[in-house]
Structure 1
C-alpha cells in the first residue's frame, strides 16, 4: 500500500517559467526551504542528490534516481530509504491555460517502514510540502 502527501497550488506563470525554476537544480537554494544543495542530472536514470531539511526531523542527505520526467510537466525521482522503505518524490505542472498552472509536489511512501514513517511524521511532511509549494509559487510569479 502507498501513502501520499501532496500540496497543490495555483500559480500565475507559464509552465515554461515553472519548469525553468525546477530544472535549475543548483538554483533550488534560492527558493526551496526544504531541499537544498541540489545537484544531479534530469535524465532517465539520472541521479539527484540533495539535503532534505524538514522542520522537526534531522537534516539528511538524499540521493534518488530519476524515474520519470517531462519538460514543462513533471519531475519524479525515487529513493530507497532502507529495508522495506521506498519514497517517490515528485513535482507536477498542469497548465490550465497559458500563464495559469496548478503545481503539485509530494511524497509517496511505500513499504512497511514507509507506512510507519508516514504515520509518525505526517504533519511535518504536510508542512514541508506546503512550504515548498508556496515558495515555488512565489519564485515563479516573481518578475
Structure 2
C-alpha cells in the first residue's frame, strides 16, 4: 500500500529563485536542517546522498537515485529500503504568477511495510517538512 505525507506553502518568489535555492545542494543547511550533507548529480539516474535527521528519529544516511527533474518545476529521488519498501522524495514548484509560487514537498512510501513506517513516524516527518517549508519560505522571501 502507498502512503504519502506532503506539505505545501505559498512563497513570494519566482520559480527561478526557488529552483536556484533547491539545487544548491552544498547550502541546503541554510533552510533544511532535516536533510543535510547533500551530495548528488542533477541528472536522470544520478546518484544522490544525504543524511536524514527527522525529529525524534536517529540520523540515517540515504543513498538514492534522481528519477525525475525538471528545471524550475520538480526534483524527485527514490530510495530503496531493502525489499520492504521504497521512499519517493519530492519537491515541486508551481509558479502561479511571476513572483508567486506554491512549493510542495513530501514523501511517498510504497511497499509491504510502508503503512507501518508512516503510522509510526508521520508526526515527526510532518513536523520536519513544515519546518523545512517555513525556513525555505523565509530564505526565498528575504
Q: TM-score, normalised by structure 1?
A: 0.97
Structure 1: state its 5+ residue gaps: none
- Which residue of 2 is the match for residue 71 of structure 1? 71
The question of 1:115 aligning with 2:115 is answered yes
The question of 1:57 aligning with 2:49 is answered no
- Which residue of 2 is the match for residue 140 of structure 1? 140
Separation in structure 1 between the aligned mates of residue 135 and residue 92 of structure 2, nearest angstrom? 15
Q: Contact (CA 8 Å) 1:4, 1:107: kept in 2 or not?
A: yes
**Number of aligned residues:** 142
Q: Contact (CA 8 Å) 1:89, 1:108: kept in 2 or not?
A: yes
SS at match of 2:50: strand
Q: Post-superposition, which runs of at least 4 consecutive aligned residues in structure 1 deviate over 2 A?
A: none
Shift of 1:84: 1.7
The question of 1:94 aligning with 2:103 is answered no
Separation in structure 2 between the aligned mates of residue 82 and residue 122 of structure 1, nearest angstrom? 20
Shift of 1:135: 1.2
Separation in structure 1 between the aligned mates of residue 42 and residue 134 of structure 2, nearest angstrom? 23
Shift of 1:68: 0.2
Comparing 15-24 with 121-130, greater Cα deviation is found at 121-130
SS at match of 2:113: helix
Shift of 1:125: 1.0
Q: TM-score, normalised by structure 2?
A: 0.97
Structure 2: state its 5+ residue gaps: none
Separation in structure 2 between the aligned mates of residue 48 and residue 136 of structure 1, nearest angstrom? 20
- Which residue of 2 is the match for residue 103 of structure 1? 103
The question of 1:127 aligning with 2:127 is answered yes
